Structures are given as C-alpha cells and as structure tokens.
Amino acid sequence: MKLVDIRKVEDCFDGSMIFRYSFNKEVEESLMRIMGQKGKLHYYPKFLRPFFKITTVEDVQIKGIIGHDNIEVVYPQTNKWEKKKEFETNLRKCLEELDKGDFTER
C-alpha cells in the first residue's frame, strides 16, 4: 500500500488543522490496527460504512472508513507541524510493516 497524496482539508476555529491522506488501495482493517497500536482505537465495524477513530498520545485524531482509499487526520493547535511530521513518519513505517507482512496484533 502506498501513500499517493496529502492535502490540507481545512483549518479549524480552535487552531487545529485537518489533512486528508490518500492511498493507492482501500484502507483495510490491518492498517487501522497497526495505526491503532499508537493510541486509543475506537472501531465500529457494524456501521453501514465501518468507521474508526484513533486518538494518539499526542492528541492527534485519525479518522477513516474501512474500504475507502483515504483517512483524515486532525492535528491539535499545539505543535501541530511537529506532530504532522511525526505522524507522517509513523504512517510510512506502518505502511512498510503492512507491505512486508510483519504485522502481528499486540
């Protein structure tokens, strides 16, 4: 799975910002679970469109729908550019782990 696009969606009134990350394939449960290891995962598989939300210890929120080719990430006002850079580094590591088949649920 490859990251193909990063777009700023909007700035929020509270100073946070939202980016959309698009992939060359649909988001699967395995990617959600890898990313979920870095925070608190809420997964709603019984929704018409299976929705997930992950809140990291850095207060970054990752939202997505299983089967869609993108996720949205909300960066809080405090240190948002540093948190964005850190998230993107971790996302690339997650994608590499997924591609190598190294993922084992913890």
| Domain span holding position 32 | 3-100
- 11-30, pLDDT tens digit by residue? 777 778 999 999 999 999 99
| Per-residue confidence band for 106, with pLDDT thresholds at 50, 70 and 90 | very low
Rounded Cα distance, 12 and 76, in Å: 9
How are strands ordered across the β-sheet holding 17-23? 3-11, 17-23, 70-75, 61-65, 51-56, 39-44
Number of domains observed in the structure of the chain: 1
pTM above 0.85, yes or no: yes
pLDDT value of position 103: 53
Rounded Cα distance, 24 and 4, in Å: 6
pLDDT value of position 97: 86
CATH code: domain of residue 7: 3.30.310
Residue-averaged pLDDT of the chain: 90
Length of the chain: 106
Q: What is the mean pLDDT of residues 28-56?
A: 94
Coil vs helix vs strand at 18: strand
Considering the domain boundaries, does residue 106 fall inside one? no
